[in-house]
Amino acid sequence: MQQRPLTRLDQVQLDAVVRRHEMFRNARIGGARATLSFFDLNGLDLTGRDLAHADFVGASLRGANLGGARLDCASMFATDLRLANLENASLIKTDLRGACLRGAILIGANLFEADLRDGSLAEKDRDGSLRIIQVEDRPTEASGADLSGANLTNARLSGAMAIHTDFTDALMRGCKLVRATMRGANFTGSNLEGADLSGADLRGACLRGAVLTGATMIMTELADADMEDALTDDPVGRVVAELGRPLDELLHEHIRWVGSSGAEGTALDLSGFDLRHAPSLAHTCLTMLRAVGATLYGLDLTSVQLQAAVLEKGDLRLAKLINGDLRGVNLRLAKLNNADLRKANLRPLYFDERRSMASDLSGARLRYADLRGACLREVNFAGADLSFANLSGCDLTNTDLTNARMFGAKLERRALSDGAILDGVAGLKL
């Protein structure tokens, strides 16, 4: 095994290389692809730069700032990224085989279809034989890295070492984690739907509230793992078949009940039911539905009518509620992580000039929820978790955000200066 020396670049030299690369990306004369293989770039600043398709093979970026950088399809084979800042960076289809991400910050990074499998660098000798190149004496791993909220959909981490790595709320659907070593890793609230965890070592890992539906877990080691509240293929509570009648018939009876103010039909109560395999409820009238603690994970509820519905403690993670009428809805303590609530209407439901019912989402979890363009007038978000939620274009007039968690939440600059949108909002610290 031979150690390969690295060539040091300073910030001025690196900036010149990056400028030419960005010209190359824009097909401008004088541009050239950034070839930074086996360069020492430790501690340098690449914040927000476009380095898609750049070559970083064997380079060292220890402690570098790559926050918000675009690194799609970049070659980062065996790259040293220890303690690097990759927060909100785009690493779509990036080759990270053999890369060292120990202690790196990848909060909110997009690693869709990235390759993070193990790997070693080799080159040919004069006699044609291969020899392993050792850039430094370091293990290939992501141990201690922070990948909370990262998008690892279809990413490949087979054989990777990620001991005590933080995958909180990460989107890991279809992720390949075959024989990965992830002892003590934190997967709280992460989505591992359809992931392959065959032979993975998850001893002592925290999978509390994680989604494991459709996951392959053949010979997965789970000793001392915390699986509390994890969502698997097993039913949560009662199944639709236990309703006694087809759901379509019961919905028809419920609509009659709503339309006749209770004189005809029967009110629908789905409390405690697992509706994941129910027929589509998009565009359905579910006004005044009662579904306390129901599981509606991933359901298409586009343009649904849920006025005055009681969905307290319900699981609506990844549910689509686009354009939904949720006036006066009760979603206290509900799970709405990654839910799509674009242009949903959650303003109060008015019965007459004196009586109204405000929407209640106190204590609800809406981490990474998409609320763009939603009407949130007078909504009670007291104690709710809106971390990393997208609130761009929302009407927050008289909204109660007392003790709500807003870390990383997106509020567009226009809203921050527009009194009509934020008028009377309580508990919002700017």
**Looking at 205, 234, 263, which one is the last position of a domain?**
234
- Both 86 and 190 in one domain: the answer is no
What pLDDT is attached to residue 126?
54
Asked whether residue 120 is domain-assigned, the answer is no
Distance (Å, whole) CA 182 – CA 161: 6
- Both 188 and 239 in one domain: the answer is no
- Both 344 and 425 in one domain: the answer is yes
When divided into structural domains, the chain yields a total of 3
CATH of the domain at 223: 2.160.20.80
Asked whether residue 62 is domain-assigned, the answer is yes
CATH of the domain at 260: 2.160.20
Asked whether residue 112 is domain-assigned, the answer is no
What pLDDT is attached to residue 429?
57
What pLDDT is attached to residue 277?
86
Q: Whose CA is closest to 190, among 162, 166, 154?
A: 166
Distance between first and last Cα of the chain = 54
Burial tier of 19 (Cβ tally within 10 Å: 0-12, 13-18, 19+): middle
| pLDDT of the chain, 430 residues: tens digit per residue | 446 789 999 999 999 999 999 999 999 999 999 999 999 999 999 999 999 999 999 999 999 999 999 999 999 999 999 999 999 999 999 999 989 999 999 999 999 999 998 755 444 445 554 344 444 444 346 888 999 999 999 999 999 899 999 999 999 999 999 999 999 999 999 999 999 999 999 999 999 999 999 999 999 999 999 999 899 999 998 998 898 899 999 999 999 999 998 899 999 999 999 999 888 899 999 999 999 999 999 999 999 999 999 999 999 999 999 999 999 999 999 999 999 999 999 999 998 888 899 999 999 999 999 999 999 999 999 999 999 999 999 999 999 999 999 988 998 755 444 443 555 565 565 4
**Looking at 234, 258, 289, which one is the last position of a domain?**
234
- Both 250 and 349 in one domain: the answer is yes
Distance (Å, whole) CA 131 – CA 411: 52
What pLDDT is attached to residue 351?
86
- Both 196 and 275 in one domain: the answer is no
- Both 295 and 331 in one domain: the answer is yes
Torsion of the alpha carbons at 63, 68, 71 and 72, rounded to the nearest 10: 150
Asked whether residue 134 is domain-assigned, the answer is no
Asked whether residue 121 is domain-assigned, the answer is no
What is residue 416's three-state secondary structure?
Answer: helix
Asked whether residue 110 is domain-assigned, the answer is no
Domain range for 254 is: 235-429
What pLDDT is attached to residue 352?
83
| Rounded to 5°, angle at Cα 191 from 307 and 100 | 145
Asked whether residue 114 is domain-assigned, the answer is no
Q: Indicate if the alpha-carbon torsion angle 126, 127, 132, 136 is positive or negative.
A: negative
For the chain, counts of helices (H) and of strands (E) = 4, 9
What is residue 21's three-state secondary structure?
Answer: helix
- Both 65 and 150 in one domain: the answer is no
**Looking at 104, 131, 156, which one is the last position of a domain?**
104
What pLDDT is attached to residue 135?
45
- Both 304 and 414 in one domain: the answer is yes
- Both 300 and 164 in one domain: the answer is no
Asked whether residue 125 is domain-assigned, the answer is no
- Both 266 and 392 in one domain: the answer is yes
What pTM does this model have?
A: 0.83
- Both 272 and 293 in one domain: the answer is yes
- Both 225 and 147 in one domain: the answer is yes
Distance (Å, whole) CA 242 – CA 246: 10
Q: Whose CA is closest to 142, among 156, 170, 162?
A: 162
